[in-house]
């Protein structure tokens, strides 16, 4: 098991955002967290990556407990978080943005890692000298994912990678997610497009108001009448 989250609780002041959330991600697996806005999906990713402090429970990554650990140390252990909204350094070039993703790695590793990123995102190679703020929405998402891959993660956490993209670009991004996974990187995916998320993932967990209410193989949840009614518009 690569990631184990047990009884995770997170508070925003007096408000409890997560209640005893438990899930796991195995090596080489795509796992998705499905739920409505405000269910706690992004909060979960932010807590795993060390951006938020857990109020209870434990997070174990690759056999090592990481809840309470500083974010930069978690990245060094092999967890990369691509946040919602892409969040590029708008006035830096594509190349500079990518190199910032490798700040925890030795300089000698950056060039071969960047070449691997270009295999997944050839468009970024064409835009290397361009400032990030001038990229299209799809290119920004590719840059955000490429920057995450520069950290050479064992686990890549993606928060809403399809947000604001056209249907054609959504399919392209999900094809790339599959390719990244086939290359050996485990993926924890948060995605409003539940249909696409359940198609690409092996397993899924459904979050409602900070609690896991359903889990199982993604293909089974895709056929589940309650899940279809709540999240797939059927």
- Please, what is the average pLDDT of the chain? 93
CATH classification of the domain holding 72: 3.40.50.300
pTM comes to 0.94
**Could you read off the pLDDT of 186-228 as tens digits, one per residue?**
999 999 889 999 999 999 999 999 999 999 999 999 998 888 8
79-82 and 155-159: which strand pairing?
A: parallel
- Indicate whether 87 belongs to any domain: no
Instruction: Please report the pLDDT score of residue 141 as a whole number.
Output: 93
- Indicate whether 85 belongs to any domain: no
- Indicate whether 99 belongs to any domain: no
The whole-number average pLDDT for the span 4-8 is 98
Rounded Cα gap, residues 50 and 74, in angstroms:
7
Contact 154, 88 (CB under 8 A): no
- Indicate whether 59 belongs to any domain: yes
- Indicate whether 28 belongs to any domain: yes
The pLDDT-based confidence of 27 (bands split at 50, 70, 90) is very high
Instruction: Please report the pLDDT score of residue 87 as a whole number.
Output: 84
- Indicate whether 105 belongs to any domain: no
Report whether pLDDT(234) > 70: no
- Indicate whether 10 belongs to any domain: yes
Instruction: Please report the pLDDT score of residue 211 as a whole number.
Output: 95
Report whether pLDDT(114) > 60: yes
The whole-number average pLDDT for the span 9-26 is 95
Number of structural domains in the chain: 1
List the domain range (segments joined by +) for residue 25: 1-78+186-234
- Indicate whether 118 belongs to any domain: no
Instruction: Please report the pLDDT score of residue 233 as a whole number.
Output: 65
Report whether pLDDT(93) > 90: yes
The whole-number average pLDDT for the span 39-61 is 96
Report whether pLDDT(150) > 80: yes
Contacts of 184 (CB under 8 A, 6+ apart): 28
Instruction: Please report the pLDDT score of residue 86 as a whole number.
Output: 79
The pLDDT-based confidence of 104 (bands split at 50, 70, 90) is confident
Instruction: Please report the pLDDT score of residue 208 as a whole number.
Output: 93
Report whether pLDDT(169) > 60: yes
The whole-number average pLDDT for the span 75-90 is 91
């Amino acid at each position: 098991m690569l990631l184990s989250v047990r009884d995770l609780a997170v508070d925003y002041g007096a408000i409890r955002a997560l209640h005893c959330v438990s899930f796991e991600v195995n090596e080489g697996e795509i796992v998705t967290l499905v739920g409505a806005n405000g269910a706690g999906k992004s909060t979960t990713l932010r807590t795993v990556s060390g951006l938020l402090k857990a109020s209870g429970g434990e997070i174990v990554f690759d056999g090592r407990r990481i809840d309470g650990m500083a974010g930069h140390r978690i990245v060094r252990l092999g967890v990369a978080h691509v946040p919602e909204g892409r969040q590029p350094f708008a006035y830096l070039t594509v190349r500079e943005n990518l190199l910032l993703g490798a700040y925890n790695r030795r300089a000698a590793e950056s060039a071969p890692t960047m070449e691997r990123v270009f295999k997944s995102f050839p468009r970024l190679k064409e835009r290397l000298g361009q400032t990030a703020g001038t990229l299209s929405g799809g290119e920004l998402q590719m840059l955000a994912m490429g920057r995450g891959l520069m950290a050479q993660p064992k686990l890549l956490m993606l928060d809403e990678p399809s947000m604001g993209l056209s249907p054609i670009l959504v399919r392209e991004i999900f094809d790339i997610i599959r390719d990244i996974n086939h290359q050996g990187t485990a993926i924890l995916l948060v995605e409003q497009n539940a249909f696409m998320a359940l198609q690409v993932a092996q397993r899924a967990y459904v979050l409602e108001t900070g609690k896991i209410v359903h889990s199982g193989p993604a293909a089974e949840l895709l056929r589940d009448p309650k899940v279809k009614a709540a999240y797939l518009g059927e």
